[in-house]
A and B are shown apart, each in its own frame.
Chain A
């Protein structure tokens, strides 16, 4: 018995050491390395780069722009997402269930594909823009009322891609409002306004704060939209790429540290508020029933709103598919493409040079998922099921990348692995195939960790005790009880990570090499070489893959 105990404690020490080694090596060390690079100057360690940063107007403007973009993204997405959540879940909206599913769609679409779809629709020569132009005199417009560029253009795209955080969280919160508390409030004389401010808002406040955190971080870390349509609206992420391209790694490092600092500051402040307004419901309430709308005019307006929404959400996706069939070299000066063929797809699947990015992305996404499982599963197990003294450290390390913008992760990787390190077996990773999947892993592992943690939390210890009392050996217990319970969560997490990695653009821009050019880079190249159809075919393949995978996710049984 004692022997067995020794064996298991040895295994425990080995697993924990290996885990800490990887987390420190690939998450903490790169951040510290970037910090070090930002402090190294010709006259030794100093904060000269920081002083230089704050004395350079263009840098300060980019920082200001990033923060403004982050805040406005929160405001715009918060407004749209919360409003939609109320429309769909608080009121009896026509076709609620279908609209609810459609509204979740943008989460599985890679940002880059959406940006290009928006450019094709609302850009200077976009389909919608041109259509309005031809009707200009008819509509009596002097000029096109919108321009897909600068801050408003980026915000327009962010609104589409990021309202979802608010929508999902607030929807869940609305469904958890205890109907009887609203009735109790009415019974105690509260007016409709008082009910909204004193009952409904406190119920959804934690959801709003949590969504604000993630939206702000995605907003300041956004790269695809600012780099493609930002124009003169410079933000930190595009500046970091510029510094890196000009080989000013010390400046890039400084910018990365400042951007990361802003992100962590926001996280800290919001967490403080989140803790203040958190509450626990000890008695299970009864969910609210969607409120009936009796006014026919309001009903009609909602109907129109619902259809416009569906159209607005589906249009970019339909566009990607439609343009992927445009015959190469035919759509030059006409407003609408006229000739369609399978040529783009045939090209992708018959020319190995065109197929390579698709295969690369697929393999790298799988590698990312495997790395995520390998690290997140034991980490979650230690956090949830053991009393390991320093488990808070593991959690802090593994969640850290959540608050680090993708561009910063890429720069950290370059700074850490452009020289041999003990973490990489004295190898240089920059320029190697494996660095890109490792960077994807760093950016995705917090998401996987959350999923696996929930799985282990659902694994009630009594199941294990029951299995042991029925004479199940440790191995049998793991195989027949533990795995069936945690596998669905891990599978769902894996799928999500594959979807998110397969169309990744930001990190790829910094770290791809000739051997592992991913699909996103191939798309961008396609656009710049005026092979729009080819680029869209890549996009369409990614979308199809994401949709199929998300159907799988929804079919995974939950325990």
Chain B
């Protein structure tokens, strides 16, 4: 069932278009991510949904009700801010209790609810602590509990993991996802980190310069990017400008590749792990000869940069025994036609 629908949302700041006719529909219980580089409009859209920013055009519909002009304090959406925005002059308990007090809940209800949600985020016994004494991860959990205690229909998360160090970020990613599925709460997550988006989301909307360029499951976005921007932004890829004629992509005067089908486009994209690398040639289709220019190993994977004529290709291979090629070695790359995606700008 649809919970939130955005229709033709437009927003400009100082004559610069920040959001351009954005249409989205978010289903109940979904973990939905807005993904894009900084300045793409994703945070502005989140703030429009929260009610902190007014869209110039378009409507925001929540549970079937038009909520475009509803003030922020009257929308039943929770939000966790990038810097958590904890109230520095209140302790952990008072922070979490703040919204319930605004609702004029009874003292007993407040105590009960705050305790319940602090337990949910693993912060039992932290009630009297000052928020400035907490670590980044703990502060984030307080911010999460503060939003969840209001039992919102929709939870908005504005880059909540960006202030944490790498290891803690991985841990919090799991915890966040765990809490989300435990409560079944519809969640809108804003991030510029593609790994975060791919691992956590049910669906992703990719933003580029105020436009929502693709909506899909992580698998769809990764394997079938809608355009050059998406292919480039999500995961590593080898991207070349080409001319397509007679089922062939012509990269330059000496290199051309066979394609599966003759579709229109100006670019081709091949993921590094889709290229086979070998020191022998079997003379199969689309095999190119090249020299290894760079080798870098990141534990389970080895990444090669191989020069082929004037081109450079990135190849990723599992680091299994006997898989290593040396710098300067001649190798053969095979690019299977079904792995070559034809794209437009």
A residues contacting B by CB (< 8 A) are: 178, 180-181, 183-191, 194, 198-199, 202-203, 277, 279-286
- A294 CB to closest chain B CB, in angstroms? 12
Inter-chain contacts of B136 with A (CB < 8 A) = 283
Write out, one digit per residue, whether chain B residues 131-149 have a CB within 8 A of any chain A CB (1) or not (0). Answer: 1101010010000001100
Inter-chain contacts of B84 with A (CB < 8 A) = 283
5 shortest interchain CB distances as A-B pairs: A188-B99, A180-B85, A279-B89, A184-B85, A282-B132
In the assembled complex, B102 has its CB within 8 A of some CB on chain A = yes
A/B interface sample: 9 pairs, CB < 8 A: A178-B83, A183-B81, A189-B74, A191-B73, A198-B98, A280-B130, A281-B132, A283-B136, A286-B83
CA distance A284 to B130 in the complex (A): 16
- A510 CB to closest chain B CB, in angstroms? 44
Most-contacted residue by chain A among B79, B82, B83, B139 (CB, 10 A): B83
Whether the Cβ atoms of B102 and A279 lie closer than 8 Å is no
Whether the Cβ atoms of B98 and A188 lie closer than 8 Å is yes
Write out, one digit per residue, whether chain B residues 73-94 have a CB within 8 A of any chain A CB (1) or not (0). Answer: 1100111011111111100000
Least CB separation from B163: chain A residue: A283
- A215 CB to closest chain B CB, in angstroms? 23
* Other A-B pairs beyond A183-B72, A186-B73, 16, CB < 8 Å: A183-B81, A184-B85, A185-B102, A187-B72, A187-B147, A189-B103, A189-B150, A190-B102, A199-B87, A202-B89, A280-B130, A281-B132, A282-B139, A283-B136, A283-B163, A286-B83
In the assembled complex, B219 has its CB within 8 A of some CB on chain A = no
In the assembled complex, B277 has its CB within 8 A of some CB on chain A = no
Whether the Cβ atoms of A282 and B79 lie closer than 8 Å is no
Known: A279-B132, A282-B132, A282-B139. A186 touches B87 (CB 8 A): no
Whether the Cβ atoms of A281 and B81 lie closer than 8 Å is no
Least CB separation from A185: chain B residue: B98
CA distance A506 to B150 in the complex (A): 60
CA distance A26 to B88 in the complex (A): 42
CA distance A279 to B133 in the complex (A): 11
CA distance A350 to B192 in the complex (A): 73
Whether the Cβ atoms of B85 and A183 lie closer than 8 Å is yes
- B74 CB to closest chain A CB, in angstroms? 8
Whether the Cβ atoms of B88 and A194 lie closer than 8 Å is no
CA distance A203 to B102 in the complex (A): 18
Whether the Cβ atoms of B73 and A189 lie closer than 8 Å is yes
Most-contacted residue by chain B among A180, A202, A277, A284 (CB, 10 A): A180
Inter-chain contacts of B163 with A (CB < 8 A) = 283
CA distance A199 to B146 in the complex (A): 15
Whether the Cβ atoms of B83 and A189 lie closer than 8 Å is no
CA distance A189 to B147 in the complex (A): 11
CA distance A188 to B81 in the complex (A): 12
Whether the Cβ atoms of B88 and A190 lie closer than 8 Å is no
In the assembled complex, B50 has its CB within 8 A of some CB on chain A = yes
Known: A279-B89, A280-B88. A188 touches B83 (CB 8 A): no
Least CB separation from A179: chain B residue: B85
Whether the Cβ atoms of A194 and B72 lie closer than 8 Å is no
Whether the Cβ atoms of A181 and B85 lie closer than 8 Å is yes
CA distance A55 to B156 in the complex (A): 69
Inter-chain contacts of B51 with A (CB < 8 A) = 186
Whether the Cβ atoms of B98 and A285 lie closer than 8 Å is no
Inter-chain contacts of A183 with B (CB < 8 A) = 50, 52, 72, 79, 81, 85
CA distance A194 to B103 in the complex (A): 11
Known: A198-B98, A282-B139. A188 touches B146 (CB 8 A): yes
Least CB separation from B131: chain A residue: A282
Known: A185-B98, A186-B72, A188-B98. A283 touches B83 (CB 8 A): yes
Least CB separation from A192: chain B residue: B73
CA distance A492 to B101 in the complex (A): 47
Least CB separation from B150: chain A residue: A188
Whether the Cβ atoms of B98 and A187 lie closer than 8 Å is no
Known: A189-B103, A190-B73. A184 touches B132 (CB 8 A): no
Whether the Cβ atoms of B99 and A281 lie closer than 8 Å is no
Inter-chain contacts of B134 with A (CB < 8 A) = 282
CA distance A277 to B130 in the complex (A): 12
Least CB separation from A184: chain B residue: B85
- A60 CB to closest chain B CB, in angstroms? 40
Which of A190, A191, A277 contacts B89, CB < 8 Å?
A277
Write out, one digit per residue, whether chain B residues 143-172 have a CB within 8 A of any chain A CB (1) or not (0). Answer: 000110010000000000001000000000
Inter-chain contacts of B98 with A (CB < 8 A) = 185, 188, 190, 198
Known: A189-B103, A280-B132, A281-B132. A184 touches B88 (CB 8 A): no
Inter-chain contacts of B132 with A (CB < 8 A) = 279-282
Inter-chain contacts of A185 with B (CB < 8 A) = 87, 98, 102
CA distance A187 to B76 in the complex (A): 8
